[in-house]
Amino acid sequence: MRNLNTLLSVVVVFAIFALMGCSSDNQVTEPETPDELDLPSVSTMTMDVDFFKSAQMDSQAVMLGKFEESSIAASPTALKLNYFNAAVRVFFLNVVAYSALAEPVAAFTTAIHSVPQYQEDGSWLWTYVYIDNHGSEYSIFLNGKRMDTYVAWNMEVSCNDPNLLLDHFLWFDGQVAIGGHSGYWQFYEPDTSSESGESEAETPGVQCIRIDWDNNGLHDRQSTFLINKLEDTAYGSTLTFDEAPDVASIEFFDAANETTGTIIWYADGTGSIEWPDYKDGVRSCWDVWQFDVDCE
């Protein structure tokens, strides 16, 4: 009887180990969800021109891109012509660059308040509603997918506003290198010339502006805005914004006239403008208080 009990005990022990082995071998493990993607910095889509905020410009001057010096001949502003002429050109270029970018950039900025969902294709999807300054509601679909050396991004938008009917319109796409130090964005506008009508499942678009950028940290970045909309009179023109800790600059290449203008400003308040239609293109400077001075 004792031998039988011993034999049974051995059998039970082996059975337990066998069951443990089977349980370990046959256990179904769920695939781990990859780490959530970090949203790229919105600074990769913008320029910091706050230095010129103190220059109060009327909208007409900004739209013309020129400063009417005759209107301020007897005012203190007459002593800051170089600075004000630089400011009006910066504001003008900012309007040109962001006429097509303002809404998609603002919509992208609000993605930070949304929680993304992991998709079966390995991408992350942010879905949320963006309301513009006019009260129009946009349904946003922001998608990012990690590839070998970069993250592919795209934003689609739908809108039921009668004046702006959009159905999964591609607002922008682009690539961001792993680590987030460089990349590009391609922005699109709705193709108003399209005759596709209601048969199209998605709203067609045309490219308008591309941004190639390097971002090495706070106050250490460069962005080049290329106007690549074929129908645009400024097609082929580029605007390059360069920022370092102590200096920033804007260089504009006008493809239509094949001319280049440059504006530089420093952390101490000094700066200069060298523009084809200002003082015959001669470099003109201002001091720490933005008063006109001779260039050194």
Q: What's the pLDDT score for residue 87?
A: 93
Q: What's the pLDDT score for residue 10?
A: 38
Q: What's the pLDDT score for residue 90?
A: 93
What torsion, rounded to 10 degrees, do the Cα atoms 103, 105, 111, 117 define?
100
DSSP secondary structure of 23-66: HHHH---PPPPPPPPPPPPGGGG----GGGTTS---HHHHHHT-
Which phi and psi (to 5°) does residue 185 adopt?
-130, 135
Q: What's the pLDDT score for residue 196?
A: 46
Q: What's the pLDDT score for residue 215?
A: 92
pTM score: 0.82
Q: What's the pLDDT score for residue 17?
A: 37
CA distance 193 to 105: 24
Share of the chain above pLDDT 70, in %: 79
Q: What's the pLDDT score for residue 122?
A: 95
Give me the numbers of helices (H) and strands (E) for the chain, helices first please.
4, 14
Q: What's the pLDDT score for residue 199?
A: 40
Query: Which segments in the chain show pLDDT lower than 50?
Result: 1-24, 26, 28-30, 73-74, 196-200
Q: Name the maximum alpha-carbon separation found in the chain.
A: 122
Q: What's the pLDDT score for residue 5?
A: 46
CA distance 219 to 227: 24
Angle (CA) 186 90 72, round 5°: 155
Which phi and psi (to 5°) does residue 59 adopt?
-60, -30
